[in-house]
Chains A and B, each alone.
Chain A
Amino acid sequence: MSDTNQSGPLSGEFFMQGDIACAEGALTAGCRFFGGYPITPATEVAQRMSERLPQVDGMYIQMEDEMASIGAVLGASWAGKKAMTATSGPGFSLMMENLGLGIMLETPCVLVNVQRGGPSTGLPTLTGQGDMMQARWGSHGDYAVIALAPSSPQELFDLTIHAFNLSERYRTPVLVMTDAEVGHMTEKVVIPPPQEIEIVERRKPTVGPEEYLPYHVEAGEWVSPMAVAGEGYHLHVTGLTHDERGYPATNDDSAQWPLVQRLISKIEENREDIIILEEEGDCPLEEVEVVVVSYGIAARTSLWPIQMARKEGINVGLLRLVTVWPFPDDRIRALAGRVKSFVVPEINMGQIVREVERCAAGGAEVFKVSHPGGGIHDPQQVLRVLRRAAGRDAEPGQLRAQGVPSQTLEAS
């Protein structure tokens, strides 16, 4: 097991649980503050951080609820610390308002959601991917987010580091949207030596307090260098719409335009830097019949039905969304004119499939493979939809006779 008494960041090969790999990734990334609240199936992240942070001169605090957890994380970031919290659906809902504050103040931090079945208390110990749209739109107002979807404990380690790097580079909260299956999975995790891991630090002001404007963005940049409390800058930041001095500007829309536009553009205009996709197939995806678009555990459980379909002579490829937000519009659009159909397995009743539909724009058929949460897809269920997506299967009536729920058969 990975539980060693080593006090610094780990390196080596470990048999490690996903939640713990997430915590270790955070420590390797330089996270030195965790504010959290226990919630299944994310609790192990907090447990690990409570044990490990004091060993690396970091600070752990268990707050009174999730609103307070993310509040403390934002405060710690403005004290100069890399900071994180981890939660699941109910806590994620409570964090939404302060997530918006983090976006508005341009506060680097990482928010991990180990998803479980919902709505409400739902299925605390069982998996789900029902918070994907909440991740994109859950806080009020207009903004853009970055959300990553790990498929394994190894990726929980790697992508938690990547999340910190992106959060520091783009000065924004970054969401790690994992799930109970990956979070509670234990398998091999390889942690490279620290010198082989890229770590990004936030840019600091190079001018003195008299000249520094906390939200002045130089040409060619997307965010401003970040002064924090205690450095003598006497900075003011507010969740109100503000100008480049950080002062409220709420009498008209003159500051709203450039501010909201930049909060969105700094992510949307840097898609090439942010978006990570993994493509797998016997040939380039442009040449396959059916592209499975999936993420997280659902992408991983799609591998077996993809193999089965190939044995049946169906040319299937996998487009795995390592980055879910921003959504890879261009890639889906490019494929839409070439492939016959998209199949989108996800452990919700149809969320990311809407994005695929939007980008496919009628250029290819789109099939969803839904699951309400509480387990992973039955591979046969995915396989049946793959056959249908390739135009090689029985009529829907016959499929219904096989017990396939009707909504999974709908060509969306």
Chain B
Amino acid sequence: MVAETKREGLAQRPLRRAFETDGEPEGLDEEIHGRHPLDDMLRTDRLPHIWCPGCGLGTALTCFLSALRKSGLDLKKAAVVSGIGCTGRVAGYVKLDSFHTTHGRAIPFATGLKLGNPELAVIVFSGDGDLVTIGGNHFIHAARRNIDLTVICINNFNYGMTGGQVGATTPLGGVTTTSPYGNYEYPFNVSALAASSGAVYVARWTVLHARRLERSMMEALLKPGFSMVEVISPCPTGFGRRHKQREGLDTLRFYRENSIIDHDADLHRADIGLGGPLIEGNFVNIEKPTFLEQRAECLAKALQ
């Protein structure tokens, strides 16, 4: 038996028996990786995740879960809604009430969830293609209404899941599988879009700025109303390798060399070009009654 087990190799975890101490979730090679401090907030039985080496989603998710823990919000009342795409898979990994919905429609679903039970803290965690391309209309309308949602928008400038296609955030000139001669469409500036649509909290960070990102995520979680954190994130497989950033580390190096932190930046001048600069900061943090507060005030007067 022992000899047989050894022949099956690492995939069959021949070492587990020697080191096993308790019945930790399957799927984790704990002997190799050890426990992660955020494991209790993850569906560890679903790991390893599907994301590519060098992808920024792991860092963004770590920042998010750390922020959520530090926020003090009741995890039983926190729900994550995702759309479709690489980032859309976040909902499947967090040990919270989590909903993996249709492409572009995470925000409407989240709107129904929040209005159906206002006690919930509802987080929309999705990608740029999902949120501002196919789902752009819902994004601006949820911001306009000031629905109390926290939107985490992972912006990697392309459609990663389908193999790196051009999107509404692809910088001018960006080469993708469907812009082989370079992108000639003007892109959206996600932070400017959110701010001009009425968001009460808008921040943008790269995943290199993990501490600042985590802090902004926590502020966004605690902010009543529509808050949006744009996370600039490497996609070496889909985007980076076509722009001299073969590895995730190359993209992080690019972030380090081209980031400008300016909390007071004029967002309309903070477009993201192919060669930078990446203007980042906590851009917007204003007070404005939420949809539910506006509604309550209106109905209190009308129905008294």
Contacts and interface: CB of A to CB of B under 8 A. Distances in A.
A55 B303 contact: yes
B117 interface: yes
Given A230-B97, A236-B91, A80 B105 contact: no
A67 B99 contact: no
Contacts of A228: 97, 117
Contact of A72 (B46, B99, B115, B120): B115
Interface in B91-111: 91-92, 95-102, 104-105, 107-111
Nearest to B76: A232
B101 A239 contact: yes
Contact of A33 (B46, B101, B115, B141): B115
A235 B92 CA distance: 10
Interface in A201-239: 228-239
B112 interface: yes
B197 to A, nearest CB: 12
A245 to B, nearest CB: 8
Contacts of A98: 102, 105
Contact of A64 (B92, B101, B141): B141
Contact of B92 (A63, A69, A238): A238
B115 A97 contact: no
A101 B103 CA distance: 11
B98 to A, nearest CB: 5
Contacts of B96: 234
A371 B32 CA distance: 70
B92 A35 contact: no
Nearest to B84: A239
Contacts of B299: 54
A231 B81 CA distance: 16
Interface residues of B, number: 36
Which of A64, A81, A232, A248 has the largest count of B CB atoms less than 10 A from its CB? A64
A97 B102 contact: yes
A98 B101 CA distance: 9
B100 A230 contact: no
A108 to B, nearest CB: 12
Nearest to B298: A54
Contact of B100 (A70, A72, A76, A239): A239
B191 to A, nearest CB: 21
B6 interface: no
Interface residues on A, range: 35 or more
B99 A237 contact: yes
B39 interface: no
Nearest to A75: B112
Interface string B30-57: 0000000000000100100000000000
Contact of A71 (B102, B114, B116, B303): B102
Interface string A43-86: 00000000000110001010111011111111111111101000
A101 B108 CA distance: 13
Nearest to A237: B99
Interface in B42-90: 43, 46, 76-77, 79, 81
A59 B105 CA distance: 20
Contacts of B107: 68, 71
A71 B112 contact: yes
B138 interface: yes
A75 B108 contact: yes
Contact of B113 (A65, A78, A101, A234): A78
A68 B119 contact: no
B97 A75 contact: no
B115 A71 contact: no
A71 B46 contact: no
A41 to B, nearest CB: 24
Interface of B: 43, 46, 76-77, 79, 81, 91-92, 95-102, 104-105, 107-117, 119-120, 137-138, 141, 299, 303
25 contacts: A35-B112, A61-B111, A63-B108, A65-B137, A71-B102, A72-B115, A73-B112, A74-B101, A75-B112, A75-B113, A75-B116, A76-B116, A78-B116, A79-B115, A79-B116, A97-B105, A101-B102, A230-B76, A230-B119, A232-B76, A234-B98, A236-B97, A238-B91, A247-B46, A247-B92
